[in-house]
Amino acid sequence: MVQRLTYRRKVRYNTQSNKQKIVKTPGGKLVFHHQKKRAKGPHCGDCGGKIIGVPVMRPVEYKRIPRHDRTVNRAYGGVRCMGCTRMRVLRAFLIEEQKCVKQVLAEKLSQAKEKEAPAGKKGKKSRA
């Protein structure tokens, strides 16, 4: 007959956080070994892809490792993936360039108006 097993910890039910694995000991007995929850790891906030360079751990374990192991050394490090970071930096650069172009065009337009304005104005005729 098969050996009966009992849970070794406080929770006596097969819940999501109380998964067990049956292991045979060298003495021939069957015992339960507690299984940890599997970690999903950090994901990008934009595209949902995995962030390369950050280890896959449970949240409590992240607290125990140093900060330089939790992040990646770049803008949005550990929050956005490499592709999304590249797109954000490129978009910001293009927006700044567009602002500069608008400013230059506005200056040219104002200079053109200044040149036209004195030539176009004539003094008022006095009515007498």
For 9-34, how does the pLDDT look when each residue is reduced to its tens digit (9 = 90+)?
888 999 999 999 999 999 999 999 99
For 63-86, how does the pLDDT look when each residue is reduced to its tens digit (9 = 90+)?
999 999 999 999 999 999 999 999
Q: How many CB atoms lie within 10 A of CB 20?
A: 15
Higher pLDDT pick, 105 / 116: 105
pLDDT at 2 (0 to 100): 82
What does pTM read for this prediction?
A: 0.64
For 82-115, how does the pLDDT look when each residue is reduced to its tens digit (9 = 90+)?
999 999 999 999 999 999 999 999 999 999 988 8
Give CA–CA dist 56/43, Å, rounded.
Answer: 10
